[in-house]
Structures are given as C-alpha cells and as structure tokens.
A and B are shown apart, each in its own frame.
Chain A
C-alpha cells in the first residue's frame, strides 16, 4: 500500500514538472514552425519543422538585427560581473576571513541597499545621464548593474569564504606563508566554485534587467530585453519569431542557471539558506 502511494506521488511530481515545463516546450516547438503553422487553432503538434523563425529573428532577409542588442547585453553583463567581483572579493575577505569589527552590521548594510526599489532612484539617474551625455551609453548600465548585484555578491562570497577552515589558514601562516600565497594557494581553491556561482548569478540578473535599460538606453545601447519589448504589440503574425527570439535570448540564462542549480538557492536567498 505504501509502495503504491509512494509511486503515485512520484508520478504526481513528474506530472507537475511537465505541466510547469509545458509552456517552455511549446515555445520551443512553435519556434520551429512556420508562421502559418504556428498560428492555428487547434494547435498543430505535427506541423513540419523549419528554421524560418530563427532566420527572421536574426534579421536574415530584412528586419532589425538583434546582434547589436545581444552584444550590448553581453558587454553590460560581463563587465558588470567582473566589476562586482573586483569590489566584492576584498569586501568579502574583510567580512569573513579577516573579520572587521561589527562585521554583521556591515553585512546587513549591504543587504539593505538591495531593498531600495529601482524606481526610487531612476529619475535622478536619468536626469544626470541626460545632462552629462551618458544617455544611451552602455557603461552607465554597467555601473547600475554593478550596484544592483554588489550586495548579493558580497553576501554570497562572504558565506563561501567563511567555509574556508581557519585552522588551515593558521597552519599556512605558521609555515611562513604570506597573505598573497595564502589567498592563492589556500583560500582560492576552496572558494572558487562559490565565486564562480556568484559570478553566474550576477550575470543572470544583469542579463534579465529591463527597467533601467528601457529608460536609459535607446538606439545605440539597446539591450536584448529591450529588443524583446519590440514584440509586445506585434499581433501574433510573428509567433514563431517571438518564440525564437525569447528562446535565444533566454539561452545564456538557462545555461548559467542549470550550471549553478545547487548554489542558486544560496545566492537567491542572499546566503541565508544553505
């Protein structure tokens, strides 16, 4: 009896997993249909597959090319992730290995900045950018994304660095190792997976961001999510294209997210849950 119930609950989990995944699977299938086959009711599961949706998305044979926006997104996400690491690593070091006084207070200050809604500072940033000619400039987004992700990165890396056993560091110090050696030889190997996960999560958040990009960029610095907003009013004539676009633009995030599945929780809950 118990075995039957257990099996039933396993099947239920499978069923719900498929239900949640169904919209994505359907989006993937539709992206490989021709526009006419994509827009039928009832839906067709057996329509012939084609790459037309992808060709249209990449602007082959007319239409705006998504490449500039994809490149902008890559530049903004990768640069801000690097800048975040550059700022967060020393801070995390001071908060975990070489504990400053009142380190928990400092940690909570970082967290509290994360809770300031983006709209709270948007207008001054916009006016500042307009007056300094930084409007439609990708590097302004890099700075904003860095401030958006810095608190998360400090929290996560603090918890990853704190996992390095003090005894090992002490032992290295007794053996006469200096700080750079300790960091490179002792701390880095243990904390590296955590640092990599932090970087990927920061990348995901920057890649996804819409509000700042929408307000502060235009023609030159348009990012991929802003490019996607071009499809908001298209009346389904381009269903396959919309699906192809959504999938291609989500692909880096899906890849990064699956890669850090285990660390994802810790990052998203700001290190509060392990």
Chain B
C-alpha cells in the first residue's frame, strides 16, 4: 500500500565490495521476492488504477462518453449531501462501535483475568460471537433478534409485558451498531486479556504489600500497562469497522441513513455504474483509512520494538 515509505530491499551500499557479497545478499533476499511481487501486483496496481479512473467522467452504461475531468469527481463526491452523510455515518459507526466494544471488552477481560470455576468455558462462550460468519451474524440480528413480530428481543419483552418495538426501522444505525459491538467485543477482550496476563506480577504484589487497594492498582499499574493494548485494539478494530460492508449490507441494505462509505462505493458502481465517482469515493475511503493506519502502524511498531528489544 502507499501509506508508509517502506524500503523493499536496500541495494548494497558499498560498491567496492566484491561481487560475491552481492550474490550472497541477493540469495538472502530471494525468499522474500515471491511474496513481495505478488502483493504489489495484486494490491498496489489496482489502487493506482482506481486513482486514474477517479479522474475520469465514466459511466459504465455510456462507455463512449468517457472523458478526463480532473478533480471534478472529488468535488462532486464532497458536495453531494448523500455522500457527505455517508462520511458522517462511517465516522459515527466506527467511533461508537470501537468505543463500546473496547469498554465492554475491558470489563470482560478484567473479569476473566480472575480465577473462578469454569473460566475456560466462559472464555469459549465469549469468543463465539467473533467466530460466526459475519453475514450469518448480521442475518441472526436482522431476522432472529430484531424482527418486530417474532424476534427474540420483542419476545422476551412480551414476557415481562414490555413495549414492542420495530428495532431496525426505529433506530437503524443503533441496530447495526449493536450487532457489530456484539461481534467485536470478543476481539477486544482477547487482546486486552493478553495485555493483562503480560503484567508484571511482582510489581503488583509489591504495591499490595505497600497497602495499595484494588482501584489504586488498577489506576496506577494496570491501566498504564494496558494503554498500548487499548490503543492496539482501538486501531485494529477501527481498520476493520471503517471498511465494514457485511453488516450494513445485510441488516439495512444501506437504507434509513445507514449507508457508510464502503457501501456507498459498492452502490455507486454496482447499481449506478458511475465508475469515476465510485473510484473517487474509494480514494477518499483510503485517505480516511490512511489517518487511522498511520496511527496503527505507530502503535504496532512500538509494541513490536519492545518485543524485539526484549528478545
């Protein structure tokens, strides 16, 4: 991808070295080449093509009318109220799902970090939502839980005499968000649990001997240690949820103001056949991801450097 400025393979710096060294250097690099060439061909080239197409006025139904329009598509994307709304929806959806699943995941990780009977079983129960195929999970929420007539939510409410609701048309974005939080909380829990279990036990013991209470240990030892893991969870979650297509497509089909950018891109070329506009929107999604990805790389690299220096 184009985000970082990675060095693929640095040429041997000193030209004075005998050629045998150069041969050996290439022999070392050779195992890397198939993977690198493959990735560049399959991911980078199409993106470059997307950038080029985004500069054209090109409707697939009228291919002869194709012409170069410069940044016109971008202007159109940014001024179209529907598209601007989908930018807002994407931000809202991503932020709310990430924050909610992170907080829930933290609570669950703290609970699972303690010893109790059946901890392994509870852990398995909690991981399960993450392992349901995303389309299947979205169908489960749409038909089995949310359905106003025979969905489980209204069914349970009718037991206690509660009000019956039409969950999806009542609060469409919240409906999508709840389903996504359910799927992503286990992911956050797993990462935070790994963070909790890598804490320095002796340090905590020492703090307890010095008379620190639970809250003080959490506030001054656990939370600072978890910060990196919270960042990692937030950023990896953001990368996936910014790109979410399955839940939006399945639960609301982008209707009722829930269309996010990936769905909008899909729709503008799949249904409206506007190749140029779709590409411009696609490039904008990339720019949005770029911000998140740069942060993500920084977090991952700081964790990774720590790991390398420890080894």
Tell me which residues across on chain A come within 8 A of B28, comparing CB atoms. 94, 98, 100
Closest to A215 in B: B270
Closest to A87 in B: B35
Asked whether B135 lies within 8 Å of A225 as measured between CB atoms, the reply is yes
B79 on interface, CB distance cutoff 8 Å: no
Asked whether B246 lies within 8 Å of A121 as measured between CB atoms, the reply is no
**A26 in contact with B130 given A111-B300, A250-B136 (CB within 8 Å):** no
Q: How far is the CA of A23 from the CA of B278 in the complex (A)?
A: 36
Asked whether A23 lies within 8 Å of B144 as measured between CB atoms, the reply is yes
How many residues does chain A have at the interface if contact means C-beta atoms less than 8 Å apart? 105
B-contact 0/1 string along A126-165, CB 8 Å cutoff:
1110000000000000011011001100100000001000
Tell me which residues across on chain A come within 8 A of B117, comparing CB atoms. 10
Q: Which of B131-174 contact A (CB under 8 A)?
A: 131-137, 139-145, 147, 149-150, 152, 154-156, 158-159
Tell me which residues across on chain A come within 8 A of B210, comparing CB atoms. none
B93 on interface, CB distance cutoff 8 Å: no
Q: Tell me whether chain A's interface is mostly helix, strand or loop, or mixed.
A: helix
Which of A58-66, A101-109, A185-193 forms contacts with chain B?
A: A101-109
The one of A100, A215, A242 in contact with B9, judged by C-beta atoms closer than 8 angstroms, is A100
How many residues does chain B have at the interface if contact means C-beta atoms less than 8 Å apart? 119
22 interchain pairs, CB-CB under 8 A: A16-B126, A18-B125, A24-B129, A94-B29, A100-B28, A105-B6, A110-B39, A113-B43, A115-B289, A116-B2, A119-B261, A120-B286, A122-B266, A123-B282, A124-B46, A150-B39, A210-B246, A253-B132, A253-B133, A268-B191, A269-B232, A269-B236
B interface list, Cβ under 8 A from A: 1-4, 6-10, 25, 28-32, 34-36, 38-39, 42-47, 49-50, 53, 107-108, 111-112, 114, 116-119, 121-137, 139-145, 147, 149-150, 152, 154-156, 158-159, 182, 185-187, 190-191, 193-195, 198, 229, 232, 236, 239, 242-243, 245-246, 249-250, 253, 261-262, 265-266, 269-270, 275, 278-279, 281-283, 285-286, 289, 292-293, 296-297, 299-301, 303-304, 307-308, 311
A interface list, Cβ under 8 A from B: 6-7, 9-10, 12-14, 16-18, 20-21, 23-24, 26-27, 30, 38-43, 87-88, 90-91, 93-95, 98, 100-102, 104-128, 143-144, 146-147, 150-151, 154, 162, 204, 207-208, 210-211, 214-215, 224-225, 228-229, 231-232, 234, 236, 239, 242-243, 245-247, 249-250, 253-254, 257-258, 261, 264-266, 268-274
